[in-house]
Amino acid sequence: MEDSSLKRFGVSMDGALLRKFDGLVGLRGYENRSEAVRDLVRDALIQQSWEESEQLVAGSILLFYNHHQRNLLEEMTNIQHGYHDFILATTHFHLDHHSCLEIIVVKGKAKDIQELSNKLTSLKGVEYGKFTVAPVEKV
């Protein structure tokens, strides 16, 4: 049985760390510390849950790359075709003469999606890759 009622608890923190945390609270626009703590706890729970290999997740793989890199586009396409069951959509943007941004929307078991992300982000010519994910089941 899920208890969704609000619970209060105390947190002890070093003064310097609390000042930095308060700065983050203000920077991110939270109305209070509680909102920020809730987001941090949710984030930690999501991170832990998707690391479980059988967890069903959805998310995106963000890739910045140089499209002039020899064989990169062919390698990216071959990898994506190998994981086509997990790819819901891709969007490609031309940022300038050399640089492209690709966003790949994914859904599947965490271990498979992580493997796909690792293969793509480790390709020569990919300058930056970021994998963001959330569990499909509610945490």
Q: Is 80 helix (H, G, I), strand (E, B) or coil?
A: helix
> pLDDT tens digits, residue range 66-123?
989 999 999 999 999 999 999 999 999 999 999 999 999 999 998 899 899 999 999 9
**100 annotated to a ligand binding site:** yes
User: Which pLDDT score, from 0 to 100, does residue 135 have?
Assistant: 75
Report the C-alpha gap between 72 and 78 in whole angstroms: 10
Number of alpha helices (DSSP H) and beta strands (DSSP E) in the chain: 4, 4
**92 annotated to a ligand binding site:** yes
56-135 classified as CATH 3.30.70.1150 = yes
**CB–CB of 101/95 below 8 Å?**
yes
**68 annotated to a ligand binding site:** no
Report the C-alpha gap between 53 and 26 in whole angstroms: 36
Q: Is the pLDDT of residue 4 over 90?
A: no
Domain layout of the chain by residue ranges = 15-51, 56-135
Beta strands of 1-139 (E only): which ranges? Answer: 56-66, 87-94, 99-109, 126-135
Phi (first) and psi of residue 27, to 5 degrees: -60, -40
CA dihedral (113, 118, 121, 125) in degrees, to 10, reads -130
pTM: 0.67
**94 annotated to a ligand binding site:** yes
